[in-house]
Amino acid sequence: MSKSTVHDLKIAPAIKLKDVNAATGLVAGSFGIGTYRTNGRTFPGLVQPDGATYDLSAHYPDTLAVFEDWDRALDLLADIAAKNSGTDLALRDLECLPPVARPNMLCTGSNYRQHVAEMMTYNKFNQDKRLPRESDESFFQRNLAEVDRRAREGMPFFWTGLHSALCGANDDVPLPLVGAHHDWELEFAAVVARTGRYIRPEDADQLIAGYVMVNDLGTVDEFRRADVRWGHDWVSKHQPNFKPAGPFIVPKQFVDRAKVQITMKLNGEVMQDWPISDMIFQPEQILSYASERIRLMPGDFLLTGSPPGNGAMHGGRWMKPGDVLEGEITYLGRQTNNIVAEQTDGVPTYGSFITEWSN
């Protein structure tokens, strides 16, 4: 489990699977769907656990078309995977692109019980709620009670993301010139199969096609600003390549969420290591909430929030050029991203946010 947690809620790690193929991170009998490039050609592909990859372009022009035709497409994909008729393509030789090119992204915040209670205990924004001389443990327990009340009586929270921030599972991530605290949040995401309005949580499973890994990177010292009354601005979550996604989407029937563990390493050191069982709101609840407020579309990504283990909980260890991020989520494969300096001749005009007005 993550060494980043301060208060031990004794969250049990997910059970490790025994039938994971080392070539891809896929379990035996499953497959993934993604977008790949080789020799200048981009195509939708089906990936077998051993890495054998089948070009689907004879059936669909891209993965969006797959999800727009999901019920029929799933049968076709299962048939292709079962026949396993041979292919010259292997995942290791392909460039992994974002699994869907231009999805709407719904980015859930404050959705892991331990992580939210710790943020409320230690982050600056909530210190006015701390009682005089109150201990960290006492404040944490009060915050945990508020988190549990939200689970019972409140509702999910998400903001919308920009698909221009997406990149492939193994692409470099350039750190922008604006801001200094560049942080990671490896997340389990659902991929939407169909639209719907006012869907009950108990019926929202029909909205889910599968699951994908997304690292929700952000520049966390660029979230708060004093020059607008509402005080928040999360546009720095969507810098170029700040959403590594994939390497593939795995259909939901192959994923037992009770066995999913999120693990992220920085330069080989584990930063995040947490089961998704600690979610406050499940994907079906979030999608139900979303269906009351937006038009869901096939291929949309629902990021379900970050577990504990962000840079702040590692003594303010933020990403810097030369770092290597390695992400793995049970059933969903692996990512490796080199962190580099942004190469540009430009100079920021506005720069960092004003967080406090000078006198």
Burial of residue 37, with CB atoms counted within 10 A of its CB: 0-12 exposed, 13-18 middle, 19 or more buried: middle
pLDDT digits (tens, 9 = 90+) for 48-95: 999 999 999 999 999 999 999 999 999 999 999 999 888 999 999 999
**Residues above pLDDT 70, as percent of the chain:** 98
Query: Of 81, 97, 113, at which residue does a domain stop?
Result: 97
> Which structural domain range is residue 193 located in?
105-341
Q: In the numeric block, which tokens belong to residue 27?
A: 């379990």
Backbone angles phi, psi at 95, to 5 degrees: -85, 125
Residues 274 and 237 both lie in one domain: yes
- The whole-angstrom separation of Cα 241 and Cα 163 is 10
Residues 151 and 193 both lie in one domain: yes
Residues 121 and 91 both lie in one domain: no
Query: Of 97, 116, 144, at which residue does a domain stop?
Result: 97
Mean pLDDT of the chain, nearest integer: 94
Residue 5 has a pLDDT of 65
Distances (CA, A) of 20 to 96, 130, 206: 20, 46, 27
Residues 74 and 166 both lie in one domain: no
Q: Is 17 part of any domain? A: no
Q: How many CA atoms lie within 13 A of 24 on its CB side?
A: 30
Residue 230 pLDDT class (50, 70, 90 cuts): confident
Rg of the chain over all Cα atoms, to the nearest angstrom: 20
pLDDT higher than threshold 60 for residue 289: yes
Residue 325 pLDDT class (50, 70, 90 cuts): very high
Residue 1 pLDDT class (50, 70, 90 cuts): very low
Residues 144 and 208 both lie in one domain: yes
Residues 90 and 147 both lie in one domain: no
pLDDT digits (tens, 9 = 90+) for 126-165: 899 999 999 999 999 999 999 999 999 999 999 999 999 9
Residues 263 and 318 both lie in one domain: yes
State the first-to-last Cα distance of the chain, in angstroms, to the nearest integer: 46
Residue 9 pLDDT class (50, 70, 90 cuts): confident
Q: What angle do CA 285, 190, 299 make, to 5 degrees?
A: 115
Q: Is 93 part of any domain? A: yes
Q: Is 349 part of any domain? A: no
- Which helix (H) or strand (E) covers residue 279, if one does? none
Residues 275 and 174 both lie in one domain: yes
Residues 170 and 283 both lie in one domain: yes
Q: In the numeric block, which tokens belong to residue 229?
A: 């009354």
- Look up the pTM and report it: 0.95
Contact 273, 313 (CB under 8 A): no
Query: Of 97, 114, 137, at which residue does a domain stop?
Result: 97
pLDDT higher than threshold 70 for residue 10: yes
Q: Is 85 part of any domain? A: yes
Q: Is 24 part of any domain? A: no
Q: Is 245 part of any domain? A: yes
Domain total for the chain? 2
Strand, coil or helix: what is 175?
A: strand
Residues 58 and 161 both lie in one domain: no
Beta partners for 47? 32, 53
What CATH number does residue 164 fall under? Answer: 3.90.850.10
pLDDT higher than threshold 90 for residue 6: no
pLDDT higher than threshold 60 for residue 2: no
Residue 82 has a pLDDT of 95
Could you give the strand order of the β-sheet that contains 41-47, starting from the edge strand earlier in sequence?
89-90, 52-55, 41-47, 32-38, 95-97
Residues 83 and 213 both lie in one domain: no
Q: Is 26 part of any domain? A: no
- The whole-angstrom separation of Cα 333 and Cα 36 is 15
Q: Is 209 part of any domain? A: yes
Residues 129 and 74 both lie in one domain: no
pLDDT digits (tens, 9 = 90+) for 182-208: 999 999 999 999 999 999 999 999 999
pLDDT higher than threshold 60 for residue 3: no
Contact 96, 172 (CB under 8 A): no
Residue 219 pLDDT class (50, 70, 90 cuts): very high
Contact 55, 45 (CB under 8 A): yes
Mean pLDDT of 215-221: 95
- The whole-angstrom separation of Cα 19 and Cα 140 is 39
